[in-house]
Amino acid sequence: MRFDDKTVVITGGVGGIGQALVELFAGEGANVLFSDRSEEDCGDLSEALKRKGLDTHYLAGDLRQKTYCEALIAEAVLTYGGVDILINNAGIIPRGNILDTTDDMWFSALDVNLTAVFYLCRAAIPQMRKAGGGAIVNTSSTWGIYPGPGHIAYCTSKAALAALTKSLGRDHAPDGIRVNAVCPNEVNTPMLRSGFIARGIDPANAIEELGKTVPLGHIAEPAEIADVIAFLASNDARYVCGETVEVSGAKPVYG
């Protein structure tokens, strides 16, 4: 039970990686507060986990709102007395080059993928300082490190998130707060499948074909990314700070 008596806040808790994270941390003894946009979806997940004997707490809302981001950290403090671990997992993937990208697509990507992380970290770090330390893990992307084609808003926001992670890691290591990012390539999530569906492509066939391009033989499953995030949040990674950890199955963005 790596996370006994630790309080963890997880954003994007209802998504593919998010659900894997919520169940993993709850199963390893953490006090879990998760967030997502839909009250109904959050409630359904919490009830499903309760049937497995896992207790969680949630607060639904819009991460594009500064007040909600701050309220999420305040809720963790009110409910559990503090914040030990913050997992900034929520993200969106607007698709298109600059000519296809509307103002709303651009600012939504920055608001959710970057600015919300800024607000959440700014609210959580003082709580971690009081406790003598903590861990923050952000979900960036290999496409933030090596930008791919046709996703200018997504790649830009994830690259900025990688830079934010390194800056925070260096600034707050003296506080005992480790800040790292996980950078996945393709992951078998509803978000990935919805992209194929939007383009009229059968998602099952597309994922099978994508798997053939990965040296390890398959694209990542959500639990495979959640396991790396949990490692970075745990004491096992106590000397890892300010890093962007690529989790790609050895597949480059190009080639």
pLDDT of residue 255: 52
The active-site residue out of 58, 154, 239, 254 is 154
Q: Is 154 annotated as catalytic?
A: yes
**Burial classification of residue 72, based on how many CB atoms lie within 10 Å of its CB (0-12 exposed, 13-18 middle, 19 or more buried):** buried
* β-strand pairing of 134-139 with 85-88: parallel
pLDDT of residue 66: 98
Taking the whole predicted model, whether its pTM rises above 0.85 is answered as yes
pLDDT of residue 241: 98
**pLDDT by residue, tens only, the chain of 255 residues:** 999 999 999 999 999 999 999 999 999 999 999 999 999 999 999 999 999 999 999 999 999 999 999 999 999 999 999 999 999 999 999 999 999 999 999 999 999 999 999 999 999 999 999 999 999 999 999 999 999 999 999 999 999 999 999 999 999 999 999 999 999 999 998 888 887 887 888 988 999 999 999 999 999 999 999 999 999 999 999 999 999 999 999 999 875
Among residues 211, 166, 161, which one has the least CA distance to residue 186? Answer: 211
